Chain A
């Protein structure tokens, strides 16, 4: 067992250890020695040993065996041992340790010790690690000390009381009277402690807050004294007299004046005085000004004062000190909602801060800039924001991109500008945008029909330059597939015409398909786009055929499925290809928050004949159904969309144009009968029945059942449906499309209707099928759906 060395020698020994292993060795030896020393009952060097242990603890080594020694040291009559013992208690014993309760008695005794330094040790330790139990035990002692005549003890007792109140809320009542009287002290330490205590009490109890409102004049008086007094050497910091106390008083005033006219009035003058008189060259002054501004903005201050406060923040924004700029922006962020115009005045400076090299400042500037975008400044702000996006640090990109999109969506002055902005973002920060961006952008592009040519040209060029940004590539592929004919025509007013030939386009798409940078989703887009081009180009259809067939054996399941289906489209269903791959109609905007991933690119989901209307997640472009229904009802449609043909995938939401209700308007409504199943159509061998089931107040499930009463099989049986305008319709996948002879198997199709406006439900159903080589198509109208109760 090596002899114990004084503390500093041990520290030297540890520091001179050259490796971690050596250090561990030294420490282990020392700890062993310390442990042995602890076990000895009476030991002269006890405080040394504990101090050494505390050092070892700070290095990160376990020191729990010192806990009992701390308890013993605290109970020792010697000041030096008490000092180290209490230090050890604060470091090793927290309220989670059982041993902490053992010192309660020692603390209690020391609180009434004759030496103020011993009392101070006890108070400090209690304030640092006192558990709720200890606090409850010792609260009366603290209250007594709050009334002692010794300022040194009073100030410490005040902060100890703060800790007690934090631990045990109810004891606040106990300290309130003493706290009140402490406000008349002259000693700054005691005053500061009193203000902190009162703040804590007011934050926790509204009744106490009410009571302390009466102290506002007193606080104002103290504050005035501090601000207007001459130089006080004891408390001066860079020309400000006791900034710590000033800030705490201001904070207390803020709490007292919040939502209270009377109190706020009482402090108006003072705040104006502090705001104008405080010297703002050094941090201390700025700290006081900052707190003043926060107070002014939080109480019911008069408008002149508010303007003054915002102007101070504006001045802060121009300060050379980065910290000041940072806090100015944090404060402006808090008030940009309420004092928008005032903050707008400083927009220029805020935007300049986007270029600040500091990351924290940049972040704040970005948030604030996004909050300041409005219809009038959108163009200039967007320029700055896009600039920022190209140079901003990676962690801010996603936030910047989504902020830009949101702003563009709300305030874009024109569609072309909007599309350009989005394209710009995709090319600079394409990897960081959220998933919903792709379908949102596609939807936006479809609505801007005059700009299709322009958009597809721009996207094509962007694609040629860079295929690594996935969202951009996805949108580009979609557009090329959809508007490839416009791309190939080459004449577009808005950009310089460049002749693009079919091979180039196919090359571009193939590059995307083959690149290792493309994600599976992107590949899916590219493949579908390639397929769509087969109806839009004239010469290279064979090339497309070969591309598609290659991917028929791709490892990726999704691609393989698509390729196989497209192959089938080429081979077996070539007659339908043109119809299937036609231009999509304009999509209507769905509710936000629905991610869409790859589904916008898909047209064909099943190998079955494409007329099937499938149940898709509600994010699918609904307007294809719009087209269908308008055609179904055989009426003119106002939007003049390209002809329907069947089944583009799904069908959801909004029903056809207003004409529908007019058409059906003249019909009588029969009162709903309780009959669950009604026959709807019986012709040409097909028997169709309809039954309803009420799901909820507004939704209804309709089941259509078809059977074949002839001797010949019926194939390609499909049903389409239309409902009144405000009703939403969702058709699930039918059970099949083949009706074998003599009704052996029935086909069922489920339709879910949502009728939020509770209009009368009517339905028009179109039946199409082939029987013995002859195609049939018929329409039937159901004037009232039986609603089951």
Chain B
């Protein structure tokens, strides 16, 4: 996997994860290209696109588009499952996740993503394990914060 992007129907970026080193300019260009391409698609069309030498897999969940850029030897159907798994994780964590949750708690969305994917590959295939890890990390943070008597974010 090269990158993961989340953006709204108006094209606003909500999350970006890059797994290869790129300049800011290149990243901005990719974001622009992805949003234009994906938002232009018809509602019931195929979820797979071609862009340069990459395969783009996208899926819409409510008002958010999840967009993955993968290399040509990757399995597209599995990429759809990856997207779905991430949404499930977010859903479990936030409880009926919606776009606002991701906007106001973007750093948590990143933490969850970093427990699920790493270096562009799937890290853990068990939902329960990931959920447990996130809970534990949060607890670690909160304990520290309580100890220091400061609110968490």
Give A contacts to B, CB under 8 Å: 6-8, 11, 15, 44-45, 47-48, 51, 54-55, 58-60, 78-80, 83-84, 87, 94-96, 115, 117, 123-124, 127-129, 131, 152, 155-156, 159-160, 162-163, 188-189, 192-193, 196, 234-235, 237, 242-245, 247, 251, 283-284, 286-287, 290-291, 294, 322-324, 326-327, 357-361
Contacts and interface: CB of A to CB of B under 8 A. Distances in A.
B46 A326 contact: yes
Interface stretch (B20-28, B61-69, B90-98): B20-28
B81 A117 contact: no
B153 A79 contact: no
B5 to A, nearest CB: 11
List the 10 shortest-distance A-B pairs measured between CB atoms, nearest first.
A287-B77, A127-B119, A163-B119, A189-B124, A360-B46, A287-B78, A159-B118, A94-B21, A358-B45, A244-B125
A197 B22 CA distance: 24
Interface in B114-153: 114, 118-119, 121-129, 133, 136-137, 140-141, 144-145, 148, 150-153
Contacts of B144: 78-80
Given A11-B103, A286-B77, 20 more contacts: A6-B151, A51-B107, A58-B15, A78-B144, A80-B144, A83-B137, A96-B23, A117-B136, A127-B119, A189-B123, A189-B125, A193-B123, A251-B75, A283-B81, A291-B75, A291-B78, A322-B46, A326-B48, A357-B45, A358-B42
B36 interface: no
B127 to A, nearest CB: 8
Chain A interface SS verdict (over half): helix
Nearest to B78: A287
Interface of B: 13-16, 18-19, 21-23, 28, 42, 44-50, 73, 75-78, 80-82, 84-85, 103-104, 106-107, 110-111, 114, 118-119, 121-129, 133, 136-137, 140-141, 144-145, 148, 150-153
Given A283-B80, A358-B42, A95 B118 contact: no
A47 B108 CA distance: 13
B124 A323 contact: no
A251 B140 CA distance: 38
B123 A87 contact: no
Contacts of B18: 94
Contact of A189 (B16, B76, B85, B126): B126
A189 B127 CA distance: 11
Given A156-B123, A159-B119, A80 B141 contact: yes
Contact of B125 (A79, A95, A242): A242
Contacts of B22: 94
A290 B21 CA distance: 31
Contacts of B103: 11, 15
Contacts of A78: 144, 148
Contacts of A196: 121
Contacts of B125: 188-189, 192, 235, 242, 244-245
A185 B111 CA distance: 26
A291 B76 CA distance: 10
Given A78-B144, A244-B122, A360 B75 contact: no
A79 B23 CA distance: 29
Contacts of B23: 96
Contact of A188 (B21, B84, B126, B145): B126
Contacts of A237: 81, 85
B42 to A, nearest CB: 7
B55 to A, nearest CB: 9
Contacts of A324: 77
Contacts of A87: 107, 110-111
Contacts of B50: 360
Contacts of A192: 122-125
A95 B19 CA distance: 11
